[in-house]
Amino acid sequence: MRQILLLLLLMFSAIPLRAAVEIAPRGKNPVLLQDVYQQKGVPYIAIEDVLDAVGLSGHWNSIKHTFSIRTRRGWAEISPASSFLKLAGNYYPLREKPRFIDGRLRVTDHFILNQLFLLVGQPIYFRNLDPDSDTPVAEEKNTLEQLFAFLLNKKTKSSGPLVRAVAIDAGHGGLDPGVIAASGFKEKELNLQVARKLAKQLKMKLGVTIYPSRDGDYELSLEQRLEPALKEDVDLWLLIHAQASLSPEPRGVNLFVRSEGVANSLATEQETNKSVDSPSLKLANQLALSLREAGIQVNGIYPSPLLYLGRGSLPTVQIELGYLSNEEELLQLQDDRYQNQLVQALFQGIRSYAKQLKGER
Ligand SMILES: [Zn+2]
């Protein structure tokens, strides 16, 4: 009997105690939030719940590794990798970095009390109903940092085809729509359409194996998104995205490569004959060249300091196909013929890149 009692006691003490908070724009009825994790008196509340309670919305960008919040002053951004809230070009310090706990990105009371009013444009009412209860949080076994620190050190092959397999990542999917155009058209759809077309071209005309990260409208975990790029025979990794701007004018393609060792060689972007160190940059140069030859505007090749491109030597280019915020380009991007044109140019760029490699061998 005593043992049973002990067991019961142990069981009860193992049940996580959930804290709860109330939140609302000042003067409105507070919303009760109960999915709250509390550590040392600091409540961690899912950013989506917080935004909901104050009438804002936002979305997680699993590629950029940031959470974007739509506000009257433009897009605001937070990230588990950053101690700042970015809003309209300004950085506001956060006492605690946002954290993923139990699968949701969470902010603390400090964010709610000190920064949220900037986003909402009015004072915020907030009350922690249970400031003393702590929630035991299991250590997250894979921090995002670790996930993205994967190394892709490709050995130079002395024989055989130079491009054996291509990993193609159609950005976003499922509950993560990516950028949404004013018309409701979602980036995730465009990404998938273009990724499928490009895969088909590469398979048919170059006979290479394609590893898509997704082939439908569903969400991917970070592991799932990275998996294709980690395959042994993958020699290229392409990430397909589109973007949006707060202004309706910007248009055209932007190409991103991982920033390590790229900054210096970016100056040579136009001079494709000159040998540059980064294989990603070589690939990006060929893509830019063939896109421009096809009459498609390319704004440039940019280094991306973000972790999501991984590290190492696997030639990797993130292709931002265009701006869903530009009315004219939005129509083009939804047009089958324009998509084919884009895909044809990307295919040509990949072929030129393979030829260039062959010449260097
Ligand atoms: Zn995207």
CATH of the domain at 86: 3.30.457.10
Within this chain, do residues 305 and 161 fall inside the same structural domain, yes or no?
A: yes
CA of 158 to the centre of ligand 1 (A): 36
pLDDT over 80 (residue 192): yes
Q: What is the DSSP string of 106-158?
A: EEEHHHHHHTHHHHHSS-EEEEES-TTPPPP-PPPSS-HHHHHT-EE-PPPPS
Q: How far is the CA of 193 from the centre of ligand 1 (A)?
A: 14
Q: Please give the residue range of the domain that contains residue 43.
A: 13-128
Cα 186 to averaged position of ligand 1 atoms, centre (Å): 10
Instruction: Give residue 260's pLDDT.
Output: 61
- How far is ligand 1, taken at its centre, from the CA of residue 65, in Å? 10
255: left (phi over 0), alpha (psi -120 to 50) or beta: beta
Distance of CA 58 from the midpoint of ligand 1 (Å): 14
Q: Give the pLDDT of residue 222.
A: 76
Question: In angstroms, what CA-CA distances link 278 with 211, 264, 313, 356?
Answer: 23, 10, 8, 13
| Cα 180 to ligand 1 centre (Å) | 10
CA 13/CA 96 separation, integer angstroms: 28
Q: Tell me: pLDDT of 237 over 50.
A: yes
Whole-number Å distance, alpha carbon 355 to ligand 1 midpoint, is 30
Is residue 15 predicted with pLDDT exceeding 70?
no
Predicted local confidence at residue 64, as pLDDT = 77
* CA 216 / ligand 1 centre spacing (Å): 16
Statement to judge: residues 102 and 151 lie in one domain? no
How large is the C-alpha radius of gyration of the chain? 23
> Region 23-30: what's the mean pLDDT?
91
Q: Which of 128, 157, 180 is the last residue of a domain?
A: 128
Q: How far is the CA of 39 from the centre of ligand 1 (A)?
A: 33
Convert the pLDDT of each residue in 267-315 to its tens digit.
Answer: 444 444 444 558 889 999 999 999 999 999 999 999 876 656 666 678 8
Non-local CB neighbours of 353 within 8 Å, separated by 6+ positions: 163, 236, 282, 283, 286, 287, 315
How confident is residue 101, by pLDDT bands cut at 50, 70 and 90?
confident
Query: Would you say residue 143 has pLDDT above 80?
Result: no
What pLDDT, on the 0 to 100 scale, is given for residue 255?
Answer: 95
* pLDDT, position 215: 93
- If you measure from the C-alpha of residue 185 to the centroid of ligand 1, how many angstroms do you get, rounded to a whole number? 13
Q: Clarify whether residues 115 and 156 are in a common domain.
A: no
Who contacts 35 (Cβ-Cβ below 8 Å, separation ≥6)? 18, 45, 46, 49, 102, 104
Q: State the pLDDT confidence band at 224, using cuts at 50, 70 and 90.
A: confident
Identify whether residues 163 and 116 lie together within a single domain: no
Q: Output the pLDDT for position 270.
A: 44
CA of residue 161 to ligand 1 center, whole Å: 31
Structure-model confidence comparison of residues 20 and 62, the more confident one: 20
Distance from residue 169's CA to the centre of ligand 1 (Å) = 10
% of the chain surpassing 70 pLDDT: 80
Identify whether residues 245 and 206 lie together within a single domain. Answer: yes
Cα 96 from Cα 82, distance rounded (Å): 9
Distance 241 CA to ligand 1 centre (A): 4
Q: What is the pLDDT of residue 352?
A: 95
pLDDT band at 221 (very low <50, low <70, confident <90, very high): confident
Q: Is residue 2 part of a domain?
A: no
Highest-confidence range of 5-14, 105-114, 140-149, by mean pLDDT?
A: 105-114
The residue assigned the tokens 């249970």 is 130
pLDDT for res 10? 45
Q: Is the Cβ–Cβ distance between 98 and 78 less than 8 Å?
A: yes
User: What tokens were used for 167?
Assistant: 């990993």
**Rounded mean pLDDT of 113-120?**
90
Residues 155 and 97 in one domain: no
Q: Is 7 among the domain residues?
A: no
pLDDT, averaged across the chain:
83
Q: Specify the number of domains making up the chain.
A: 2
Q: Are residues 102 and 249 in the same domain?
A: no
The lowest-confidence range among 61-70, 179-188, 248-257, 344-353 is 61-70
Same domain, 40 and 185: no
Asked if pLDDT for residue 165 goes beyond 50, the answer is yes
Q: Are residues 156 and 238 in the same domain?
A: yes
Residues 178, 242: contact at Cβ < 8 Å?
yes
Q: Measured in angstroms, how far is the CA atom of residue 242 from the centroid of ligand 1? A: 5
177 alpha carbon – ligand 1 mean position (Å):
8
Residue 326 CA to ligand 1 center (angstroms) comes to: 16
User: How many angstroms does the Cα of residue 172 sit away from the middle of ligand 1?
Assistant: 6
**pLDDT class for 31, splitting at 50, 70, 90?**
very high
**125 CA to middle of ligand 1, Å?**
34
- 270 in the same domain as 157: yes
Residue 113 tokens, joined: 């009390």
Give the pLDDT confidence of 59-98 residue by residue, as tens digits.
988 777 889 999 988 899 999 878 889 888 788 888 888 9
Using CA of residue 90, residue 92, residue 97, residue 99, what is the dihedral sign?
negative
- Say if residues 23 and 126 touch (Cβ distance below 8 Å): yes
Helices (H), 153-241: 187-201, 222-226
- Co-location of 103 and 154 in the same domain: no
133, part of any domain: no
Query: 331 lies in a domain?
Result: yes
Amino acid at position 70, single letter: R
pLDDT at 136: 61
